[in-house]
Amino acid sequence: MECLLVSHTHWDREWYRTFQLFRARLVDTVDRVLDLVAADPGYRFLLDGQSVVLEDYLEIRPHRRDELVAACTEGRLAVGPWYVQPDSILPSGEAHVRNLLEGRRVAEQVAPRASRVAYTPDSFGHPAQFPQLFAGFGMDAFVYWRGNGDELDDLAPVWRWVAPDGTSLAAVHLGGGYFSAAHLPSDVALAAKKLEAVGAELGPAAGGRVLLMNGSDHLLPDAHVDEVAAALEASTGWAVRRGLLEDFIATLPPEEDQPRWTGDLLGGRLANLLPGVWSTRTWLKVRNRRAESLLTAEAEPWAALAGALDAGDEQPALRLAWRSLLQNQAHDSICGCSVDAVHRQMTPRYEAASELAVETTARLLDRLAGLGPERRVPWSDSFDLAVFNPSPWPRTDVVRFPLEGFPLYGIKSDGTADVHPIALASLLHRGYEVGGRPARLVAVDDPDRVRMVPEQVPTDVEVVVADVPAFGWRRLSLEPAPEVADEVDDGRRIEVAGADDEPVVVEVAADGTLAVTLGQRSWSGLAGLEDLGDRGDSYDADLMDDGEVEVASVEVVRRRHPSGLQSLVVTRRLRVPAGLIEDRSSRSDEAVELPVVVEARLVPGVGRVDLRVAVDNRAEDHRLRLVFPTGAAVAASRSATTFGVARRPVGAPDASRWVHAAHSTFPN
């Protein structure tokens, strides 16, 4: 038997304690690692495959930087390849790319190179495209714990993971978890006896080559590993080495001897998958997707064009935005399974990432439109608007922008203050028109917007802009005009001519659901409501099928504007149980009213229906979902994943041999 003992710590940057509280322990941990490296020539340590911990440590211990660099240079300390240990499923594929890029950049500030082992020990499943992604970064292997289903029957602890494009990578499954050799007794003989039992259990399936992971969540390193390894070798006759994952990967069987398999790893055969985290604290997922979209679909395309036209380099600002976002994509952070304080502290990071993306985009577009660095809007209530389209196809759509001139205030010749004419138009609710057609004014009750008069909310303008070229722009001229308000009534039907003049129709049924027609296709019962009790936790739902949703009332408001913009605002007031009874065995008899507002919106020339949903959640311990029946016999579902589309059968797989229940819903 050959055993490799890998000392490590698994460092959740924040989880059941906040970042700063855990960082204090991280400093103690790395201090001990460096002390052990100095005292024991054979000591090696894996710093959890993420390089953000290097930054976190050196901010507190800058005087130990040289020791850290020396340990990495001598191959005693493995760092990277990730920047943070991510959740593998929830971030976008591009976010994983940036995670590995930033991880390598930070690691190589202290080490000759980042680790080439894609060590991902504790993420809740993995996407099928990971082999292609990791191979593109020159990784030698993928080391993991969670995610296998019944494909394990055909695999070995070392197998070949094949991506959909055919790219393959060695995968090493941690059969005993990333903690198989953790919590060693202080007594050397007892510690060796414990490892002998672990090796005997894992050895047969591993072909006599066992990987023993000496560490776990937030554990300080054991100081007697050298003695334990020697005692284990002496008592068993096994060949016992201390080392790093790279040492294990160097001795893998040839590729042709590794069983091959293709697909995602979303099973619970040997380890809890915990798929409930995919929808825990949904607001985190919404903010994450918004920040990713602002960066990848808006800021970075225009930054690339600006760079090509010598209009400035904003890559440092965008990299700073990515760093803030990536720190929120650590698996216990984005998954929403940490204590409340952790998730409150995530909000400023999301705000930093999104604000940097939004303002960088605005500055880039100002330059591309010819606006100078002062970014002054002409001192007039007439103005031009440059509309940019970042899509790779022509677009017709609605554009919304604030009536806020810059600078907001000026100084008259007599020394008194003056308000920008555009902001004054907003204050006085003056109207605008574009090309002789009225624009729509929208009052915005946003506490983050400037109010010149406390009781007067800011105003936005909406206009429909047609045929903006792919990755191009159009200039519009807006002129003051009398305000034209929405026509408001209780009608239940709206219709526009969509793309290619095909009809787009929305009607509200008596129960508040929507019937939609797009050209020759029609659906009904859309945006239905399902409410179930949930006595689970932040990792798993435990749903209670307890009857139909009671809709106490349905109110409909129809708005139509001469610009062609139309909407139906449907307010349904549900009666749902207030929560669970004390022993959590059933929902309470006390009911509360829960308003759900769905706004369906149509834009002329656009062949889609936009929905905006707002919920005033007044109940506890339940799951509320919108339901969209297809009216078709569905055999499989498709959902977006990391650089791919996954096709999965409807319904959960057989999980009779799994330690965790199977699931049938997936993020998209």
Tens-place pLDDT, residues 109-130:
999 999 999 999 999 999 999 9
* Residue 419, SS3 per DSSP: strand
Instruction: Provide mean pLDDT across the span 229-238.
Output: 97
Establish if 517 belongs to a structural domain. yes
* Residue 202 identity (one-letter amino acid): L
What residues pair up with 647 in beta bridges, in sequence order?
638
Could you report the per-residue pLDDT of 467-501, keeping only the tens digit for each?
Answer: 999 999 999 999 999 989 999 999 999 999 999 99
Q: Find where tokens 């008899």 sit.
A: 589
Q: Which domain holds residue 236?
A: 2-264
Phi, psi (degrees; rounded to nearest 5) at 200:
-65, -35
Q: Is the pLDDT of residue 513 over 90?
A: yes
* Domain harbouring 109, CATH code: 3.20.110.10
Run of H or E including 532: strand 528-534
Could you report the per-residue pLDDT of 29-50, keeping only the tens digit for each?
Answer: 999 999 999 999 999 999 999 9
Residues 423, 517 within the same domain: no
* Residue 423, SS3 per DSSP: helix
* Residue 258 identity (one-letter amino acid): Q
Establish if 515 belongs to a structural domain. yes
pLDDT at 418: 79
Q: Is the pLDDT of residue 607 over 90?
A: yes
Band (pLDDT 50/70/90 cuts) for residue 22 is very high
pLDDT at 405: 74
Residues 95, 230 within the same domain: yes
Instruction: Provide mean pLDDT across the span 86-102.
Output: 98
Q: Centre a 10 Å sphere on the Cβ of residue 413 and count the other Cβ atoms it contains.
A: 6
Could you report the per-residue pLDDT of 315-333, keeping only the tens digit for each?
Answer: 999 999 999 999 999 999 9
For residue 186 the two structure tokens come to 């202080």
Residues 49, 73 within the same domain: yes
Under 8 Å CB-to-CB from 56, ≥6 apart: which residues? 13, 19, 23, 26
Residues 121, 87 within the same domain: yes
For residue 28 the two structure tokens come to 């103690």
pLDDT at 245: 98
pLDDT at 449: 85
Q: Is the pLDDT of residue 374 over 70?
A: no
In degrees to the nearest 10, what's the CA dihedral of 362, 367, 473, 643?
-60
pLDDT at 143: 99
Q: Is the peptide bond before 253 cis (omega within 30 degrees of 0)?
A: no
Band (pLDDT 50/70/90 cuts) for residue 546 is confident
Boundary residue ending a domain (467, 485, 503) = 485
Residues 150, 195 within the same domain: yes
Transcribe 632-654 into DSSP letters.
Answer: S--SEEEEEETTEEEEEESSPPP
Q: Is the pLDDT of residue 335 over 70?
A: yes
Could you report the per-residue pLDDT of 279-309, keeping only the tens digit for each?
Answer: 999 999 999 999 999 999 999 999 999 999 9
Q: Is pLDDT larger for residue 664 or for residue 283?
A: 283
Establish if 649 belongs to a structural domain. no
* Residue 108, SS3 per DSSP: coil
* Domain harbouring 304, CATH code: 1.20.1270.50
Establish if 663 belongs to a structural domain. no
Boundary residue ending a domain (218, 237, 264) = 264
Residues 247, 287 within the same domain: no
Are the beta carbons of 148 and 142 closer than 8 angstroms? Answer: no
Q: Centre a 10 Å sphere on the Cβ of residue 81 and count the other Cβ atoms it contains.
A: 26
Could you report the per-residue pLDDT of 652-661, keeping only the tens digit for each?
Answer: 899 999 999 9
pLDDT at 545: 79
Q: Centre a 10 Å sphere on the Cβ of residue 324 and count the other Cβ atoms it contains.
A: 19
Number of domains in the chain: 4
Residues 204, 87 within the same domain: yes
Boundary residue ending a domain (485, 507, 538) = 485
Are the beta carbons of 14 and 330 closer than 8 angstroms? Answer: yes
pLDDT at 96: 99
Instruction: Provide mean pLDDT across the span 216-223.
Output: 97
Establish if 576 belongs to a structural domain. yes
Establish if 651 belongs to a structural domain. no
Counting residues of the chain whose pLDDT is more than 70, the rounded percentage is 99
Could you report the per-residue pLDDT of 626-653, keeping only the tens digit for each?
Answer: 999 998 888 899 999 999 999 999 888 9
Establish if 662 belongs to a structural domain. no
Residues 163, 73 within the same domain: yes
Residues 606, 551 within the same domain: yes
Residues 468, 550 within the same domain: no
Counting residues of the chain whose pLDDT is more than 90, the rounded percentage is 84
Establish if 471 belongs to a structural domain. yes
Residues 179, 291 within the same domain: no
Instruction: Provide mean pLDDT across the span 534-542.
Output: 93
pLDDT at 375: 66
pLDDT at 651: 87
Handedness of CA 431, 432, 438, 440 (dihedral sign): negative
Residues 32, 175 within the same domain: yes
Q: What is the DSSP letter of 221?
A: P
Residue 488 CB burial class (10 angstroms; 0-12, 13-18, ≥19): exposed
Separation between Cα atoms, residue 264 and residue 129, nearest integer Å? 8
Q: What is the DSSP letter of 225?
A: H
* Domain harbouring 404, CATH code: 2.60.40
Could you report the per-residue pLDDT of 385-399, keeping only the tens digit for each?
Answer: 999 999 999 999 999
* Domain harbouring 593, CATH code: 2.70.98.30
